[in-house]
Amino acid sequence: MPAAPFTFELRHVDAHSAARRSTLHTPHGAVEMPAFMPVGTQGTVKGVDPDRLRGTGAQMVLANTYHLSLRPGEGVVAALGDLHGFMGWSGPILTDSGGFQVFSLADRMRATEEGVQFKSHIDGALVDISPERSIEIQEHLGADLIMQFDHVVALPNEPHVVADAMRRSVRWAERCRRAQTRSDQMLLGIVQGGLDVNLRRESAAALTAMDFQGYAIGGLSVGEPPPEMYAAIEATTPHMPADRPRYLMGVGRPQDLVEAIARGVDLFDCVMPTRNGRNALVFTDAGPLRLRNASHQLDRQPLEAHCPCPACRHSRGYLRHLFQAGEMLGPILASIHNLTYYQRLLAEARTAIEADAFAEFREAKLRGWAPAA
C-alpha cells in the first residue's frame, strides 16, 4: 500500500504551556512546527525569489485562490506545472480559499447561501465563488494544503452577524468536503465565531464531526484588540483535535505569534514581514526599526549583529540611503530580513518547546519588544 500523503506527528508539548512541537509530512516535504508561511498572494512573495526565500528558512508558502483565479487563471497555472512548477517552489504550498476576500473586498461583494459574488478588482467583471468553485480552483492550483471556503466578517460586529457567518461557514465546510476529489491535498476546516466563546466551541464541534485532516482558526486579526484575539484563541484550541495541525490564519505581529504558540497553535501566515519591509520597517529582538528615521543616517550597525540575512551585511545607514534614494534594493533587503527574523523566531520557539523552556522564551521576547519606558 502506498504511504499516506500526509502525516502529523505531535512530538512534544511544553511542560508549562500549551505550546506544541510537531512535524507535518506532505508530498513536497516536511514542515517543522510551529511554522510561519510567507505570503505569495499572486504566486510570488513580493520582491523575493524562491532561492532567497529558502535562504530565510521558509518551509512552506501561501498563495491566494481568488487572485490567482483572476490572473493568470487556474488553468494557466495547471498547464505550467501547478503552483510548484509555476512559482519554482519545490516545498509545500497552502492556498487559502478566497474566504478572506469576503472581508477584505466587502465593498465589492455580495454573499448569499450559495456563495459570494465579487466585482473583480482588476476589471470590474462579476466573479462567482461558491464552496464547490473554491475547491475546484484549488485542485487546479495543486497546493498541498487547501482551505474550505468560509464567510469572514469584520470585528467587532453585531452578534447575529457573527453567528450567521459562522453557521454559514459550517454549511459551506460540508459542501467543500463533498466537492473535494483529490486525495493528495489536505483540506482544512476553519473555525469561526468571532470573539464569542460559545460560537467558537459550536463551530469547532461541528467541524470536528466532519473529520477534517487539519483545522484553522479564522476570522481574527480583523479589527479586534490583541487581548481579545488571544482570549478567543485560548477558548478555541482546547476544542480542536490534538492529533491534527492547528493553523491561525492571517496573524500577525511577532508578539501575536508567540502568544498564539503559547495557546497551542502550530502554523501561521501574514503579509506583515514583507509589507512592512517594503515600507522601511524592520523587526528585531529590540523592537521594530523605522529605517527612514534620520537617526540611522550615520549608523554603522547592522539591523541585528547575529542575523545571517543579506541585509545585515550592510549598515543601517546604507539601508536608510536605499529607501531615501528610492532604490528597489531597499525594500528587497528589508523584506528578506523580516522573513528571516520570523523564521529565526519560530526556530527558536521550537527549540524552547523541546526544552520545556517556552515560558522563559516568551517572557524574554515580549520584554525585548516592549516599548522603552
Q: Which of 247, 242, 143 is nearest to 189 (CA)?
A: 247
Asked whether residue 1 is domain-assigned, the answer is: no
The reply to whether 253 and 313 lie within a common domain is: no
- How many separate domains does the chain show? 2
Average pLDDT for the chain: 96
**Location of C-alpha cell 522603552:** 372
Instruction: Look at residue 108 in the predicted model and tell me its pLDDT.
Output: 83
CB 346 within 8 A of CB 257: yes
The reply to whether 242 and 279 lie within a common domain is: no
Asked whether residue 2 is domain-assigned, the answer is: no
**Location of C-alpha cell 504551556:** 17
C-alpha cell at 369: 519588544
| Residue that terminates a domain, selected from 225, 254, 270 | 270
| Other beta carbons less than 10 A from residue 109's beta carbon | 16
Q: Which of 175, 200, 179, 180 is nearest to 113 (CA)?
A: 175
pLDDT for 123 beyond 60: yes
Residues 6+ apart with CB under 8 A from 144: 6, 26, 27, 28, 60, 92, 93, 94, 184, 185, 186
Calculate the alpha carbon distances from 278 to 56, 96, 195, 284 in Å.
16, 23, 32, 16
pLDDT for 373 beyond 60: no
The reply to whether 134 and 234 lie within a common domain is: yes
Give the residue numbers spanning the domain of 171: 7-270
Torsion angles phi and psi, residue 324, rounded to 5: -65, -30
Q: How far apart are CA 258 and CA 248, in angstroms?
A: 12
Asked whether residue 113 is domain-assigned, the answer is: yes
The reply to whether 216 and 261 lie within a common domain is: yes
Q: What is the mean pLDDT of residues 183-203?
A: 97
Asked whether residue 54 is domain-assigned, the answer is: yes
Q: What is the mean pLDDT of residues 60-66?
A: 96
Residue 3: which pLDDT band, with cuts at 50, 70 and 90? low
Q: How far apart are CA 337 and CA 185, in angstroms?
A: 31
273-315 confidence digits (pLDDT tens):
999 999 999 999 999 999 999 999 999 999 999 999 999 999 9
| Residue that terminates a domain, selected from 222, 250, 270 | 270
Instruction: Look at residue 334 in the predicted model and tell me its pLDDT.
Output: 98
The reply to whether 11 and 110 lie within a common domain is: yes
Least confident of 63-67, 116-120, 280-284: 116-120
The reply to whether 206 and 134 lie within a common domain is: yes
Instruction: Look at residue 2 in the predicted model and tell me its pLDDT.
Output: 41
pLDDT for 371 beyond 90: no
Residue 100: which pLDDT band, with cuts at 50, 70 and 90? confident
The reply to whether 140 and 125 lie within a common domain is: yes
CB 246 within 8 A of CB 237: yes
Asked whether residue 44 is domain-assigned, the answer is: yes
The reply to whether 243 and 310 lie within a common domain is: no
The reply to whether 164 and 251 lie within a common domain is: yes
| Residue that terminates a domain, selected from 270, 295, 330 | 270
Q: What is the mean pLDDT of residues 328-344?
A: 98
The reply to whether 131 and 206 lie within a common domain is: yes
The reply to whether 32 and 60 lie within a common domain is: yes
Q: Which of 293, 284, 271 is nearest to 365 (CA)?
A: 284
pLDDT for 252 beyond 70: yes
Q: How far apart are CA 110 and CA 241, in angstroms?
A: 33
Q: At 260, which CATH number?
A: 3.20.20.105
Asked whether residue 171 is domain-assigned, the answer is: yes
User: DSSP code of 12?
Assistant: E
User: Three-state SS for 105?
Assistant: coil
pLDDT for 103 beyond 80: no
The reply to whether 64 and 133 lie within a common domain is: yes
pLDDT for 235 beyond 80: yes
pLDDT for 86 beyond 80: yes
Residues known to be catalytic? 96, 269
Instruction: Look at residue 1 in the predicted model and tell me its pLDDT.
Output: 32
Q: What is the mean pLDDT of residues 33-46?
A: 97
Q: What is the mean pLDDT of residues 265-278?
A: 98
